[in-house]
């Protein structure tokens, strides 16, 4: 009887056929499982959307409200005591530096001054005679020294009496206008009493505080626009006189603006004005969406994705999958906000990919897949 199947076959041929079949099975299994493994891995990654920072032209004028003040303002203080016998300068009077504002009764101080003046003159002559006698050997060294000391003491008493006598006339230390008086004719004054207020309105100024991001774009001599509700149809000008080199605890810097032209002639000390610092306000800044910030603006951080599977070279993208990347947390320095965007001062460039969606659950160094990518229209 004729046998069929493998029973009558050559064992070597059967072994070879089995090997070929096994190899083909392995190859097919490997080729089929590779995209499945990649697809599973891609699906397991966190999905994020990214955006690239971009430059944009913006205008950032700083507007603040301030109060006009006189160029100089001095409270005149009495250095003597006594009864007021005359007040030659009334409120509103124009006075020069050194002009008398108040006269205090001076009789006793004048008498003391005259006595001290006479004693000093006598001591001077005594010292001169003693020096001459000492040279001739008539008096001793001790007598000569005593005469010199007597002159010095008399001179000191003379200077004190003179100053007290002069203090009976209370004068203005600056040229200006008497804005207010705090004493009355016939009243008493004491050392330290406020007598009058004198202001120099030959120039007017406004002192305001600017935030650190605004003050860095200002310069001494820069023009400032001023406006007030008292003259709604008029605009005034001033210039920056000084910018403090030191800020306060709130990171604000004192800036002094001097009024010029019509402003100095029309406006008065004590009026409220609005100041617009427009110089240097037009600039090109690097922006990212405010929503990319992780945490607070004061301590800004973002997630930046580095591609590990670029779409241009195949890989996952070549097989229809989203490109993969590695998300790392990065500290940045931010500036002003413009709508939904925020300025980046340092820490990012236009080629960076910043996570704009899905960052709330990310961890530093986590693998991600990019599902959407955006950027700015102006990156030059």
User: Tell me, what's the pLDDT at 347?
Assistant: 93
How confident is the model over 238-253, as pLDDT tens digits? 999 999 999 999 899 9
Average pLDDT, the chain: 85
Alpha carbons 5 and 286: distance in angstroms, whole number: 79
pLDDT range class, residue 40, cuts 50, 70, 90 = very low
Q: Which DSSP string do the residues of 131-143 spell out, in sequence order? A: HHHHHTTSS-HHH
Task: Please determine, for residue 37, whether its predicted confidence score (pLDDT) is greater than 80.
Answer: no
How confident is the model over 91-136, as pLDDT tens digits? 999 999 999 999 999 999 999 999 999 999 999 999 999 999 989 8
Nearest to 156 by CA among 115, 120, 112: 120
pLDDT range class, residue 77, cuts 50, 70, 90 = very high
- The reply to whether the predicted model has a pTM over 0.95 is no
Contact 312, 300 (CB under 8 A): no
DSSP state of 54: E
How confident is the model over 281-313, as pLDDT tens digits? 677 889 999 999 998 888 899 999 998 865 444
Residue 300, Cβ neighbours under 10 Å: how many? 20
* β-strand pairing of 54-59 with 366-374: unpaired
3-state secondary structure of 170: strand
User: Tell me, what's the pLDDT at 46?
Assistant: 87
User: Tell me, what's the pLDDT at 313?
Assistant: 41
| Domains of the chain from N-terminus onward | 45-57+284-374 (2.40.420.20), 62-69+199-283 (2.40.30.170), 80-194 (no CATH)
Residues sharing a CB contact under 8 Å with residue 377, sequence separation 6 or more, in sequence order:
54
User: Tell me, what's the pLDDT at 19?
Assistant: 54
How confident is the model over 137-178, as pLDDT tens digits? 888 999 999 999 999 999 999 999 999 999 999 999 999 999
User: Tell me, what's the pLDDT at 191?
Assistant: 96
% residues pLDDT > 70 (the chain): 83
Task: Please determine, for residue 315, whether its predicted confidence score (pLDDT) is greater than 50.
Answer: no
pLDDT range class, residue 262, cuts 50, 70, 90 = confident
How confident is the model over 321-354, as pLDDT tens digits? 567 899 999 999 998 888 899 999 999 999 999 9
Range from 21-35, 65-79, 86-100 carrying the lowest mean pLDDT: 21-35
């Amino acid at each position: 009887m004729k046998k069929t199947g493998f029973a009558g076959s050559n064992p070597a041929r059967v072994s070879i056929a089995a090997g070929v079949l096994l190899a083909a099975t392995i190859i097919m299994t490997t080729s089929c499982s590779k995209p499945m493994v990649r697809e599973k891995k891609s699906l397991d990654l966190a999905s994020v959307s990214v955006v690239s920072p971009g430059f944009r032209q913006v205008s950032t004028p700083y507007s603040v409200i301030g109060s006009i003040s006189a160029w100089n303002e001095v409270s005149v203080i009495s250095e003597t005591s006594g009864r007021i016998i005359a007040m030659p300068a009334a409120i509103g009077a124009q006075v020069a530096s050194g002009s008398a504002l108040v006269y205090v009764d001076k009789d006793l101080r004048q008498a003391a001054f005259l006595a001290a003046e006479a004693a000093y003159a006598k001591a001077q002559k005594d010292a001169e005679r003693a020096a001459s006698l000492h040279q001739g050997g008539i008096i001793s060294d001790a007598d000569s020294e005593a005469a010199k000391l007597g002159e010095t003491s008399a001179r000191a008493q003379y200077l004190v009496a003179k100053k007290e006598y002069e203090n009976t006339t209370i004068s203005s230390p600056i040229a200006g206008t008497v804005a207010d008086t705090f004493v009355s004719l016939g009243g008493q004054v004491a050392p330290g009493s406020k007598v009058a207020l004198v202001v120099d309105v030959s120039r007017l100024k406004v002192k305001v505080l600017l935030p650190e991001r605004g003050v860095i774009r200002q310069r001494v001599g820069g023009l400032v626009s001023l406006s007030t509700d008292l003259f709604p149809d008029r605009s005034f000008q001033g210039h920056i006189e000084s910018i403090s080199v030191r800020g306060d605890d709130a990171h604000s810097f004192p800036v002094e603006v001097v009024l010029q032209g019509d402003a100095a002639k029309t406006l008065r000390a004590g009026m409220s004005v609005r100041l617009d610092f427009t110089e240097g306000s037009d600039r090109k800044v690097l922006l990212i969406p405010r929503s990319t910030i992780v945490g607070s603006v004061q301590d800004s951080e973002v997630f930046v994705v580095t591609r590990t599977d670029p779409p241009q070279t195949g890989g996952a993208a070549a097989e229809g999958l989203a490109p993969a990347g590695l998300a790392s947390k990065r500290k940045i320095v931010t500036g002003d906000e413009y709508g939904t965007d925020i300025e980046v001062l340092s820490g990012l460039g236009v080629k960076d990919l910043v996570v704009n969606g899905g960052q709330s659950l990310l961890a530093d160094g986590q693998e991600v897949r990019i599902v959407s990518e955006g950027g700015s229209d102006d990156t030059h």
